Structure 1
């Protein structure tokens, strides 16, 4: 695709984020910018389900995730800014003004800087991710649409769709060091893990240019399908996946021979592609039917399609954000209570399955007895309890899916206790920012012999 263009009433994509932002973590999320619905879909790559939909700016295009997975950056083409998403809460925390028509973007391997292709300004904005501010603007040819950064972070390769070139930026000085002629209407660049080659899609020529980074020259040109657009290299560097928009196909290039070894069909206007950290799957955004197709790279077949927002554009993998602890609390009692007798409650505190471990800080349980009940004893193994305040606390790390030893609370039931009482208890701490509450409605029996009943 030569540019963002109105085709059949829909804006077609040009470029997106760099797969260099994917990190090697066993559990990953995929972040998909939905160009037509101003949202980002978060996909759990294990369950292949959408776990969150995040509102961002108008016409989000490229997306990139920091190496530690804590933030995702989204280029909002029509708003001329970049949204910053906190991946632990899946909310936008700030918006960074950039140049006109930002499209593709890529983060340096150390996570310190973000490079944004501003297509309307023929320039690249450089953002310091510590302050989330633009610290430099680098002129870079015409209609810059995508950026890819070498694995050592020393160079950024910027695709100039309008100039039929690729601009090379020295990231230490943010100056242009080379301009490389490629095919017509180039859209996307992907760099091999060793940094030796850059693969550039040429949409108007239906080819892929291969750049040797040692001399910054094109060494070969590979014929692919009609209107090649997205490109992604597998983590082992053995294959490159190229999306062909008009053909609704994906060409698989073997980097050892620089030839197409497979062509995958069954898409509907494939736009961009990203490969997960272990190289087992490639995600392809089907721009025309608002799905993400999942390719099994071992068999090069489509195994599933995930519904996302309208016109999925940029796709980037990132490690799943570290989850914090999520305390649980329950309170139970056996049978009915009897006026004048002793009743016992069992309080259990745990950490939810799938949560992160507690951080070792103090966990505090506080019970509130209703009128008609008088506490006589409270305690449990490892708990430090105070009867006067009905408070118990302890330290130590609690793993997900595990429970502390229970707390036993005994109370005498007054002769005047109502027929039903409700006890409540809370738990806080351990790194969980929330207060969790449990209640236990209890039925009270009639009076026992008078000598055992106390008001």
Structure 2
């Protein structure tokens, strides 16, 4: 289906009456994953350039100057979503003015480079920056596309983010910056997760279980070159082992991790990318271990952390590769979490070491795990519907997107700080989701 056609959600996931913040937020991401699938941009109200509205994806720019935030337009209040740039220097200055911890929420407009905001399709589900920092990529469910944005971190003003002709007079991404199909190969429906590598971009598709593979080698425009269909339905996570060879698929409909590799040589030989798989890794240390949501590796690749929703737990493996480089997973621990684990991330610490952060959407909590102790060392209450989290090792902080209330929290992870493990700045005014027919 194409942009420009409005499709309304049906069923009981989004009611006709206004609900309270917490009741509405409990259904937000499931609705995004199902009832609103296929919703497209309407011809109604243009989105604001200076606001968060249901943020789903975030990515720190390579030079560390900006945090890019994808606003999903979940409730279809506007005719599109946006990607905005949070100026992290302004964030740091605000925290310093508050002596390290700001007690009052701040309006987001004062932190955004609003002149750089770009408009793209509704229902953005994930956002990532290329390793070289020259592009940002967004998975867009509204028109089942991979959308890319040219990124110039050194540029001032509007040149920071562009996805349109310089003379278009609009900040809306044009068709040249969207991949819906390449030749006869179409992007599958329901893109949900992204993995951006040096030469490839991969999108995982939650309904079909497909993984789409895009060639971006040499800075070329993304070209869809293969759709992998050997994975189970419910793909909602992709990760790469730090060794660089093995990629992994995570599925909410499976109790396994699925390793595979993509051959670079075959692409250059003109034969198309070759994909090799290894045996799946069972995540069955507690009950069936079903409904895996996210996977992250330690910086050295010796530990793997799997966020599992049923039962809610973090499953920890020794992921040191075998002598031949092939995957090896040995169970180390299963750590109990709050309801609804959705994302796991590794937070590097100054002076070495790291912590593991797990976002629990339903419980509205962030669990902090010490990987040496294999134990929870802190539980932080969050805003409504926490979802995306981005560590910032240089600033000794992490950024948490509260999808259900449209805010971004800044978390302090400086071991020297009196506010370690706390939210030190809330950006944006919490907002009740609007209902629609």
Q: Distance in 2 between matches of 1:17 and 1:265?
A: 15
Q: 1:48 aligns with which of 127, 149, 161?
A: 161
Are 2:340 and 1:188 aligned? no
- The one of 193, 205, 215 equivalent to 1:62 is 193
Q: Deviations over 1:340-393 (max 9, x none)?
A: xxxxxxxxxxxxxxxxxxxxxxxxxxxxxxxxxxxxxxxxxxxxxxxxxxxxxx
- Unaligned 5+ segments in structure 1 are 271-287, 289-455
In the TM superposition, 1:89-100 aligns within 5 A as 89-96=221-228, 97-100=230-233
Q: Which residue of 1 aligns with 2:422?
A: 259
Structure 2's unaligned 5+ residue stretches are: 1-25, 40-53, 63-127, 153-159, 164-175, 181-186, 264-273, 284-288, 322-327, 415-419
Deviation at 1:199, TM superposition (A): 0.9
Look up the SS of the partner of 1:132 in the other structure: strand
Cα displacement (A) at 1:209: 0.3
Does residue 5 (structure 1) correspond to residue 136 (structure 2)? The answer is: no
Between the aligned partners of 2:139 and 2:358, the Cα distance in structure 1 is 22
> Corresponding residue for 1:163?
311
Give the structure with the higher percent helix: 2
- Counterpart for residue 379 of structure 2: 221
1:41 is displaced (CA, Å) by 0.8
The one-character-per-residue Cα deviations of 1:70-115 (angstroms, maximum 9, x if unpaired) are 1111101122121111013411112222122110111123321111
1:184 Cα deviation from its structure 2 partner? 1.2
Aligned partner of residue 236 in structure 1, secondary structure:
coil
* 1:98-117 matched pairs, under 5 angstroms: 98-117=231-250
Give the TM-score, by structure 2 length: 0.56
How many Å separate the matches in 1 of 2:233 and 2:359?
Answer: 23
**Alpha-carbon separation, structure 1, partners of 2:374 and 2:338:** 15
* Residue 216 to residue 36, structure 1, CA distance change in 2 (3 Å): farther
Q: Contact between 2:400 and 2:409, CA under 8 Å: does it hold in 1?
A: yes
RMSD: 3.3
In 1, Cα distance between equivalents of 2:432 and 2:245 = 34
Q: Distance in 2 between matches of 1:35 and 1:117?
A: 19
Is the 2:56–2:403 Cα contact (8 Å) retained in structure 1? no
The DSSP-based 3-state class of the residue aligned with 2:177 is: strand
How does the TM-score come out when normalised to structure 1? 0.54
Larger relative strand fraction: 1
Choose from 196, 203, 228 the match for 1:74: 203
Counterpart in 1 of 2:140? Answer: 34
**CA offset digits 1:432-455 (Å, max 9, x no partner):** xxxxxxxxxxxxxxxxxxxxxxxx
Bigger radius of gyration among the two: 1
CA separation of 1:185/1:216 partners in 2, compared to 1, >3 Å: closer, same or farther?
same
CA contact (8 A) 1:17 1:64 kept: no
